[in-house]
Chains A and B, each alone.
Chain A
Amino acid sequence: MERIPILKMGDFLLVTIQVDLYDQLAENLESDLVNAVKKHNSKGVLIDISSVSIIDSFMGRILGNIGIMSKIMGAQSVIVGMQPAVAMTLVELGLTLTGVATALNVERGMELLRSKILLSEGQSDDNDYDTE
């Protein structure tokens, strides 16, 4: 079965989605990712969707879910590189992914992840939603 590779980079997990997502693939990614977070005890997850050009409500919800799931497992998540058209589609669908942090590109996303992790380690027992 086709799977999206999840790369481990130190404390972070790196996922780059290079194909257009279909339902089964997205569901697999969701479960794979939470398992990987547990296995590697990761502190941050970075999802690069810069080559995803089509997205529907299901995919939008999966992305939101991944963010919230990793958050309750103690890992910060950032979605990077969303295309303008995708952002507009999600907004029209009413999915604003409020629980997930976003960044323009991988570099900025990494920066954001690091600062978020620093912040959450500073106040380890208090995981409030900080502004991105």
Chain B
Amino acid sequence: MKEKKDAILDLWLNKQKAEDSYFNADDQKEDSEDFAVSFLEALGDSSIEDQNSRGFDKVHDILMGIAVSRAKRGFTPRETGIYLFSFKEALLEVLAEEIEDPAILYADSLKISKIIDNMAILTFEGFIKGREDVIARQTDEITEISTPVIRVWDGVVALPIIGTLDSARTQVVMENLLQQIVETGSTIAILDISGVPAVDSLVAQHLIKTVSATRLLGAECIISGIRPEIAQIVVHLGIDLSNIITKSTLASALQTAFNMLKLEVNKKKGTFTNS
């Protein structure tokens, strides 16, 4: 079997070329060679019946690596499946050339099939794991970038919330906001929810919690960006926001903040020069 390594590999690569429209020869050849060599080694070392034997551990590792990297590069599961099954075809073709006796050929083919099928299952597990890693990383990134605390004025911080508020995110939002309030010594925080698609009682609960925590620190919290639909939903659900200052736009919230800080924005007198 080992002597036929090159023949199997060639056959396999040709099959891959035929199946794959965007076949990347160098990359894939390396992976395939790695896999084929270790597979055949394992086949030689261990008894062919015992597919869970130690000998296959290395093969499984390599296969897992291939599956994960293919998942991350955006291959479909079908392509990865075909990749593995074309190896089986190459293997069986070489086997058919070598063994004359139909009975032995049949028995060996069955064994090879069994091993490869087991590996196919493994590939899919690896594939899904690869995709899940990608999703987890993206979730982390979204949480990171979606809670910026902006200092809009001396003593006023604003936090625009974009996307749905769930418990985990509220925690992050609250942490960031409180930390910034303490760091900047701000007395007013504006929570802009114009980017929140829907408000239900749970989201309102989270908002009220954030406002209470801000008050405990000794800062006042204004909620802005209440759209007409949100106002309707809040009233229909019977949520009491009466002891929270709410405004429809960020501009009016800022105006309120200025009033509370006893600040005034005046239009400059004199002629306007375009510099």
A112 to B175 Cα, complex, angstroms: 25
Q: Would you call A102 and B215 a contact (CB within 8 A)?
A: yes
Once bound together, how far apart are the Cα atoms of A101 and B219, in whole Å? Answer: 10
Q: Give the residues in chain A near B218, CB-CB below 8 Å.
A: 79-80, 82, 101-105, 108-109, 112, 132
Contact status A84-B219, CB under 8 Å: no
Distance (Å) between the CB of B110 and the closest chain A CB?
61
Q: Among residues 72 to 98 in chain A, which have CB atoms less than 8 Å away from a CB atom of chain B? A: 79-80, 82-84, 86-88, 90-92, 96-97
Residue of A nearest to B216 (CB): A87
Of the candidates B175, B178, B179, B212, the one whose C-beta lies within 8 Å of that of A96 is B212
Q: Which of B21-29, B117-125, B180-188 contacts A (4 or more CB under 8 A)?
A: B180-188
Q: Which A residues are CB-close (under 8 A) to B105?
A: none
Known: A82-B217, A104-B187. A88 touches B182 (CB 8 A): no
Give Cα A87–Cα B214 distance, bound, in whole angstroms: 8
Chain B nearest CB: distance from A87 CB in Å? Answer: 4
Q: Is the CB of B175 within 8 A of A84?
A: yes
Q: Is the CB of B175 within 8 A of A104?
A: no
What residue in chain A is nearest B183 (Cβ atoms)? A84
Q: Taking the nearest CB of chain A, how far is it from the CB of B39, in angstroms? A: 54
B128 at the interface (CB under 8 A from A): no
Would you call B216 and A96 a contact (CB within 8 A)?
yes
Q: Which of B209, B216, B217 has the most CB of A within 10 A?
A: B216
Q: Are A87 and B217 in contact (CB under 8 A)?
A: yes
Please indicate the chain B residues that have their CB under 8 angstroms from the CB of A108 in the complex: 187, 218
Residues of A within 8 A of B178 (CB): 84, 87-88
CA–CA, A132 and B215, complex, Å: 9
Q: Which residues of B contact A86 (CB under 8 A)?
A: 216
Shortest Cβ distance from B184 into chain A, in angstroms? 10
What is the interface of chain B, defined by CB distance below 8 A to chain A?
171, 174-175, 178-179, 181-182, 185-187, 209, 212-220
Interface residues of A (CB under 8 A from B): 79-80, 82-84, 86-88, 90-92, 96-97, 101-105, 108-109, 112, 132
The 8 closest A-B pairs by CB, nearest first: A84-B178, A103-B218, A102-B218, A87-B216, A96-B212, A87-B213, A104-B218, A91-B213
